[in-house]
Each structure stands twice: as C-alpha cells, then as structure tokens.
A and B are shown apart, each in its own frame.
Chain A
Amino acid sequence: MTVPEGRRIRTIVVDDEDLARQVLREFLSAHVEIEIVAECANGFEAVKSVTERKPDLVFLDIQMPKLDGFEVLELIGPGPAVIFVTAYDTFAIRAFEVHAVDYLLKPISAPRFEAALERAKERLSGKLPPPPLPAMELAAAARPPRQYLDRIPVRDGASVFIIPVAKLDYAEAQDDYVALASQGKKHLKQQTISSLEASLDPSRFLRIHRSYIVNLERVSKIEPYGKDSYVAVLTTGGQLPVSRAGHARLRAFLDR
C-alpha cells in the first residue's frame, strides 16, 4: 500500500497498556503528517479497527489479550506497514520474517522511533519494496520448528473467531482459501492448504487428499468408494474423499 503525496498517514496504535500507547502517541504527535485513526487495547479490537479503517501504518504490541501481534498480522494480511513494539527481543527474527517494517524495543528511544517511522514512510512511498508474499504464508514459515499451532484465528469481516485445533474437524481447500470445519460450522480463511498442513501437528492431522486435511480423531473408518478410490467416514457424520496416496498414509496411521 502506498500513500499519495499530500495525504496524511493513517495510523493505528495497538498495545494493551495505556501508558505504552501514550508514549507512541506522544512521539507521533510531533509529526503533522501522521493521523492516529484508532487506538486498540487487544488483538480483537486491532483486527476490527484495521479492517474497518484501513490504516497505512500499525504500531503493534506482541503480547496482548485475545490475539498476539503475530496472529493479528496474520489476520489483517499484508496491507498496512507494521512496526512491532515489545519488551522482548526474542521475537525480532520472526518479526522481520513476516516483513515488519521495524521492531522497537521498550523502553522506546526517540531516535530509534524516528528511524522506524522513516523506514515506514519509505515503505509507504513505494521506495522500499512491499512484502513479496502474503504475510500468513510467512507467519507459517517463521514459526519455530516443531512448534505447531494450538489454535487458528479466523477473521470474518471485522470479527475474529478462534478455533482451537482440537475442535477442527477437517480443512478443505477452496481456491485461495481454506474452509475450516469446526463444531458444525465452516470458517473461511485466506491461506493455502499446504501452509496450513505445515503448521498443524502431523501426528494429529493428515493430508488425505489434494484438497483435504483431516483431524485423525474424527476418522471413524475408511470405506471403498467406487473403483480404486476411498472415503473417510467421520465421527461427526459426513464423508471426505481420500486419494490413493492419502489412503496409504491413512492406513499406515490407523494400523499403527
């Protein structure tokens, strides 16, 4: 996203501590080209505000109630330029892997803040290249190895659902989206099924088809379906197609 010459930079500040927001507000008030369009105190509010107000720039705390900063970024997608603000230096690598413009450590120094803002302006004026990949693909890539998701945040318009992975029945690929089936409902999320597969624990979830990932606890049996193909019957009712490769994997699992 680039900001046309002459327009003010629409900015949202997200932090659960009032005083932390206050510092940013104070630093930003010196810049007439900045317009603070919202302040948010938790992850849900942040997703809602970003969706509704379409800011150019977001200052994002990482550890917050409801959703952490990375989950917020995953849900709002690659639109706005994001500057992470946190007391923890341990997330820095992950932050740059999801193409954050900068990473500010608390307590925030004024010169460091100005440098970050300058970088953000360069990104917004198009001088810095925008992130080459959707943020959520990178979020999956940046997850530490062997640490799988225990919940999946999903956005529906401005509101957010959290699906604990234990309650995910299966996922179905639909073009650029995945439909996540949980508790009798389907939630759409903009993500490829392969990146979802990579972020789920392979001992609990299995890719049984080009378009399907199933929660192994939901599989009650496998039945033949026509010549050379199978379906998985789910404990929740319903059936999922199983490819030949998927069938071999599923058998290997069920026989164990």
Chain B
Amino acid sequence: MHPILTQLRRLVFYLLGWIPLAGMLTYLLAVPGRLTWWQAGAVAFPLCLLYAFVCLAAWYPCLATPLERSSVPRFLFTHVVGAIVASALWLLLARSLVRMLSSSREFRGIDSRLSEDLPLLFGTGVLLYLLAVGFHYVLLAVEASRQAEARVMQAGLLAREAELRALKAQVNPHFLFNSLNSISALTASDPPKAREMCIVLGDFLRRTLGLGEKPSIPLAEEMSLIHAFLAVEKIRYGDRLHMEEAIDPAALNAEVPPLLLQPLVENAVVHGVANLVEGGWIRLAVERRDGVLEIAIENQFDPEAPRRRRNGVGLVNVRQRLEARYPGHASFLATAVGDRFRVAIRIPVESDDARSLAGHAPLEKTR
C-alpha cells in the first residue's frame, strides 16, 4: 500500500502541496493571452488534482529502482519511460477535460486555442512527474531511516530482556562448590547428614530451575526458595547463621519478580555472616500496605572485614531489575550504619487483583 494513501492526513498534505503547482500552471496557460485567467484556472486545477493521483504511481518504479543499488542507465530508462507515459496520460486528461469544458458557453473554443499549448503541457507533465519521483525517493529514505531506528530500539530491548533473564537465572557457582565440599566432608563423618544436604541442595536447585522464564511468582514461592537456600547454608555455617523472618500473611500471595530476594539473602550471608567469627543474624521483613510491598533485609556485618569479590554485584543486579520492571514505581535503598547493612525495597503489588501499574502513584525514587 502506498504510504500517502494509508493516512488521510498525509493525503491532504500531499494534495495541498499541489496547489502552488496548479497555480503555476494557471500562470503558464494565461500569460500567452489565448485563455483568460478564469479559463486557465478552470483547466489547471482539476487537471493537477487528477495528475496528483497519477504521480502517486511513481512510488512503484521508485521502489523497484532503489537509488543506491540501481545502475544509472536503468535508473534513467525507468524514470524517463515513466515520465513519458505519465505525461501522455496527462495530455489525454487535459484533452478530455477541455472537450468537456468547451461544450459550455463560457469555454467555447478553448480546445482549438489550447492545442497550440500542447508541447508546453507535455513538458510540464514530464517535469511534474520527475518532481514526484524525487519526492518519492525522499519518502523512501525517511521510511528506511524510521525502520532502522525501530530495529535499533527493538534490538536494544531484546538485549536488555536477555540480560535480565541471565541475571535472574544466576545461581552463584561458588555457593555450589562450597556446598559440594561440605557434602564431601559429611560423606565420611556423617553419611545421613550428607544425604540430607544432597536433598536440600537438590531442592534449592530444582526450585531455581525454570524460574528465570517466569515473569513473576507469588512471594510465598520466593520464600520457599529462600528457605531451601538457607537450609543448605545452615549446614555449612551451623550456629553462625541466624535467620529471623517477619512476613505479613497478606503479602504472601503478592506477585514478585522471581529470584529478587534470594540474591539479597545470599548477599547477607556472604558479606555478613560469613565474615563474622561468631556468626550473625539476618532479618527479613515484608509488609503489604496500600498496594505496595515493603521489603527490608537487614544483616550484621564486620565493617573491617577484608573486601570480598563480587561485592555489590548482586545489589546492582536487583536495582537494575527493579528499574527495568517498574520504571519510576519502585524504590531501592541500601544503607550501612555501624555493623548493620540494610536493603529496603518498595514495589507495587501487581498481583491477585490484576490491577495495572498505572493505578499507582509513582513512589519516591531513591538512589
């Protein structure tokens, strides 16, 4: 379909563009004096209106001979032939129009007077057609750049999605290596315990499988993932790991992005408890209030601990995911005061009541 014809607005602008051309044609016809201004106008304007539609046909030869990929002879041949055919049609239109007009009293005899202007008319038809060809090439270029822009945006979106999927599906491999080492220790000293650890580790891994594909899961499911994770860590760290939870029962069926909180709990273990000789606590609190989930994860840490690898990567991931998922509607705040590290998150509840995000006022954005 021709791009001008797909939208009424475009068509109107296109036809308006022909008004000055029709004016010029009126001028050309009236100046030699054979026609009055009125007669010239009455011929030129309807003729141009018809020719405007004829010239739209230039779209197809333009499409078939793209500027940058066509040979010069072919380019010239296509458009010269096009111009001659269009202009012949233009003459034909002019002749029939004049014949129709000459039957009325005011226009009597203009057909014979106009026949002297036929070469001029033919030349004008060729020029107008070539003008239309130029116009169509511009149109094609604009269309192409718009498509390229859309492709770039699309590619960016896809890349971002892929990245987020990768972030979500991330289970820290060192957690796995350390856990396997613990199992290896237990096989000799405490085989039943080794078996138990295999089972809890398997349970955790199974739960993380496939979570990356899901857009969201109920908080209850994320919590059982966290429990499976902590069951493994509890065997490794023993009494050093203390977990406290305060979960609002009303929050449990709220939908949250999968693997949002587990990395934060893992962070609290790796950068908090693991660095404390006597161990430490982690507190997780979730409340649901006015369509908003308020999540706080707090842990003890040693401010003088040696720097660990991957420091903060988990936090950056979570923040980026929230920003991508709830642009302007979520907040993320990480603070360290004394020996306490706290991450506070607020996200809109998008769950059971199936109300859209649009219903929520933007939350204040932090960091």
The yes or no answer to A224 lying at the interface (CB within 8 A) is no
A64-80 CB contacts (< 8 Å) to partner B:
64-68, 71
Known: A88-B174, A107-B177. A65 touches B305 (CB 8 A): yes
B275 contacts across to A, CB distance below 8 A:
65-66
B-binding segment of A4-12, A18-26, A183-191, A197-205: A18-26
A-binding segment of B183-191, B251-259, B281-289, B318-326: B183-191
In the bound complex, CA of A89 to CA of B310 (Å) = 13
B177 contacts across to A, CB distance below 8 A:
87, 105-107
B58-114 CB contacts (< 8 Å) to partner A:
none
In the bound complex, CA of A211 to CA of B235 (Å) = 51
The answer on a CB contact under 8 Å between B180 and A106 is yes
The yes or no answer to B47 lying at the interface (CB within 8 A) is no
The answer on a CB contact under 8 Å between A90 and B309 is yes
The yes or no answer to B367 lying at the interface (CB within 8 A) is no
The yes or no answer to A165 lying at the interface (CB within 8 A) is no
In the bound complex, CA of A166 to CA of B268 (Å) = 26
Contact pattern, A 96-111, Cβ under 8 Å of B = 1, otherwise 0 = 0000000001111000
B236 contacts across to A, CB distance below 8 A:
17, 19
In the bound complex, CA of A87 to CA of B309 (Å) = 12
The answer on a CB contact under 8 Å between B186 and A63 is no
The yes or no answer to A126 lying at the interface (CB within 8 A) is no
In the bound complex, CA of A42 to CA of B274 (Å) = 10
Q: Interface size of A by Cβ–Cβ distance < 8 Å?
A: 29
In the bound complex, CA of A16 to CA of B239 (Å) = 13
Q: Distance in Å from the Cβ of A184 to the closest Cβ of chain B?
A: 19
The answer on a CB contact under 8 Å between A22 and B189 is yes
The answer on a CB contact under 8 Å between B277 and A66 is yes
The yes or no answer to B338 lying at the interface (CB within 8 A) is no
The answer on a CB contact under 8 Å between A22 and B304 is no
The yes or no answer to A151 lying at the interface (CB within 8 A) is yes
Q: Distance in Å from the Cβ of A142 to the closest Cβ of chain B?
A: 15
Query: Considering only CB atoms, which chain B residue lies closest to A20 in the complex?
Result: B181
Query: Considering only CB atoms, which chain B residue lies closest to A106 in the complex?
Result: B181
The answer on a CB contact under 8 Å between A19 and B309 is no
The yes or no answer to A254 lying at the interface (CB within 8 A) is no
The yes or no answer to A162 lying at the interface (CB within 8 A) is yes
Query: Considering only CB atoms, which chain A residue lies closest to B188 in the complex?
Result: A26
A162 contacts across to B, CB distance below 8 A:
304
A105 contacts across to B, CB distance below 8 A:
177
B215-230 CB contacts (< 8 Å) to partner A:
none
In the bound complex, CA of A63 to CA of B261 (Å) = 24
The answer on a CB contact under 8 Å between A106 and B304 is no
The answer on a CB contact under 8 Å between A19 and B304 is no
In the bound complex, CA of A42 to CA of B275 (Å) = 9
B309 contacts across to A, CB distance below 8 A:
63, 88, 90
Majority secondary structure, A binding face: loop
The answer on a CB contact under 8 Å between B178 and A17 is yes
In the bound complex, CA of A17 to CA of B235 (Å) = 10
In the bound complex, CA of A23 to CA of B183 (Å) = 9
Q: Distance in Å from the Cβ of A17 to the closest Cβ of chain B?
A: 6
The yes or no answer to B276 lying at the interface (CB within 8 A) is yes
The yes or no answer to B203 lying at the interface (CB within 8 A) is no
Q: Distance in Å from the Cβ of A187 to the closest Cβ of chain B?
A: 15
The answer on a CB contact under 8 Å between A150 and B305 is no
The yes or no answer to B37 lying at the interface (CB within 8 A) is no
The yes or no answer to B237 lying at the interface (CB within 8 A) is yes
Query: Considering only CB atoms, which chain A residue lies closest to B193 in the complex?
Result: A19
Query: Considering only CB atoms, which chain A residue lies closest to B238 in the complex?
Result: A18
Q: Distance in Å from the Cβ of B353 to the closest Cβ of chain A?
A: 44
In the bound complex, CA of A41 to CA of B274 (Å) = 11
The answer on a CB contact under 8 Å between A87 and B178 is yes
A22 contacts across to B, CB distance below 8 A:
185-186, 188-189
In the bound complex, CA of A162 to CA of B308 (Å) = 16
A164-188 CB contacts (< 8 Å) to partner B:
164
Contact of A19 among B181, B274, B277 (CB under 8 A): B181
Contact pattern, B 292-311, Cβ under 8 Å of A = 1, otherwise 0 = 00000000001011111100
Contact pattern, B 168-200, Cβ under 8 Å of A = 1, otherwise 0 = 000000100110111111101100000000000
The answer on a CB contact under 8 Å between B304 and A63 is no
A43 contacts across to B, CB distance below 8 A:
306
Known: A65-B277, A65-B305, A66-B305. A87 touches B174 (CB 8 A): yes
Q: Distance in Å from the Cβ of B307 to the closest Cβ of chain A?
A: 7
Query: Considering only CB atoms, which chain B residue lies closest to A21 in the complex?
Result: B185
Contact of B304 among A26, A87, A90, A164 (CB under 8 A): A164
Contact pattern, B 259-276, Cβ under 8 Å of A = 1, otherwise 0 = 000000000000000111
Query: Considering only CB atoms, which chain B residue lies closest to A63 in the complex?
Result: B308
Known: A19-B236, A22-B189, A65-B276. A107 touches B307 (CB 8 A): no
B277 contacts across to A, CB distance below 8 A:
16, 41-42, 65-66
- Given A19-B186, A65-B277, 18 further pairs, Cβ under 8 A: A16-B274, A16-B277, A18-B238, A19-B182, A19-B236, A20-B181, A22-B185, A22-B186, A23-B181, A26-B188, A63-B308, A63-B309, A65-B275, A65-B302, A106-B177, A106-B178, A107-B180, A150-B307
B residues neighboring A (CB under 8 Å): 174, 177-178, 180-186, 188-189, 235-238, 274-277, 302, 304-309
Q: What are 7 A-B contacts defined by CB distance under 8 Å?
A: A17-B178, A20-B181, A22-B185, A23-B185, A90-B309, A107-B181, A108-B181
